[in-house]
Amino acid sequence: MATYQNSKELRNLTLGKSTEYCSEYNPNLLQAVPRSLNRDDLSLKGNDLPFIGEDVWYGYELSWLNNKGKPVVAVAEFRFACASPNLVESKSFKLYLNSFNQSKFSSINEVEQILIKDLSATAQTQAEVKLFTVEQCPALAISPVAPDTICIDGEDVTIETYQYQAEPLSQAQANSATDKVTEKLVSHLLKSNCLITNQPDWASIYINYKGKAIDHAVLLKYLISFRQHNEFHEQCVERIFCDLQQYCQLEELTVFARYTRRGGLDINPFRSTHLPRAPLMRTLRQ
């Protein structure tokens, strides 16, 4: 499990190390992590992926100076295709955004274009960036859960392990009828730990599927087994997607995790068999 944890690609990251904050624009602060590290562990090779989707980030602490030295603040939306060769390492992302604090830029459009250029170079694919004022940002609106979404957290389950286990999913459809169902599920109990620092990562996870019915109690126990598991946000979601497909053989599947923010950033990986774009939504905890 997670054989990539001590890989050479991770050794030079600033993550987990003492660092000085830079307040002058510096794109060299950005660091990339090859997505292949995790995907090799999941037996996913190249671009032959069982899912499509993207990683959607929101930045709540972006600020710079205008040409007269007056501070400007904005909320940022960043989107990275899940097929990009690299993900952007989150601590380096925070350090990079902080480097805008005392730098002067002529307009919000200039900042947006600089972000697109730098982040695209790091991810090695075209990144999407939108900047909003604090008063006019759709991403800040808390979205109600769809009325047909079922929260599975009320299942009366006994938990005996908090270490990742996928095998119990083999029983997730043991009592299912042959008829196919379409369900929208959510659990707010997903917790994993950062691969490097062991800091907790908290999320609400939305699972929409079409296929034989999944036992909600089995699914909840599986999700709780990530509680002491060490992996990056994006990698946890891909693992959950692949496990559900392997054990449940679903016709359609979408997995969308809404993680709480840390250091002014939240990361929201979205993986689907058929939907390329994550919906615009924000949970109460974000």
Q: Is the C-alpha dihedral spanning 37, 200, 138, 185 positive or negative?
A: positive
Structure letter (DSSP) for residue 197: T
Strands 52-65 and 71-81 turn out to be antiparallel
Catalytic residue among 82, 118, 137, 194: 194
pTM over 0.75: yes
The CATH number corresponding to 149-272 among 3.40.50.720, 3.65.10.10, 3.30.70.260, 3.30.1130.10 equals 3.30.1130.10
54: which 2 tokens?
């993207």
CA distances from 266 to 30, 172, 233 (A): 17, 31, 10
201 is catalytic: yes
- Contact between 105 and 73 under an 8 Å Cβ cutoff? The reply is no
Mean pLDDT by runs of 10 across the 286 residues of the chain is: 58 68 93 91 87 97 98 98 96 96 98 98 98 90 89 97 94 84 98 93 98 97 97 96 97 98 95 96 89
pLDDT (0 to 100) of residue 5: 57
- CA dist 248 → 55, 73, 141, 143, 170 (Å): 24, 46, 34, 29, 7
* Nearest Cα residue to 37 out of 238, 192, 269: 238
Topology (CATH) of 3-140: GTP Cyclohydrolase I, domain 2 (3.30.1130)
Q: Which of 254, 253, 164 is nearest to 212 (CA)?
A: 253
Is the dihedral angle over the CA atoms 156, 190, 228, 247 positive or is it negative? positive
pLDDT of residue 177: 76
Phi-psi region of 29 (alpha: psi -120 to 50; beta: other; left: phi over 0): alpha
Q: What is the pLDDT of residue 138?
A: 85
Choose, from 55, 201, 215, 243, the residue flagged as catalytic: 201
pLDDT value of residue 17: 62
Give me the pLDDT at residue 215, please: 97
CATH 3.30.1130.10 segments of the chain: 3-140, 149-272
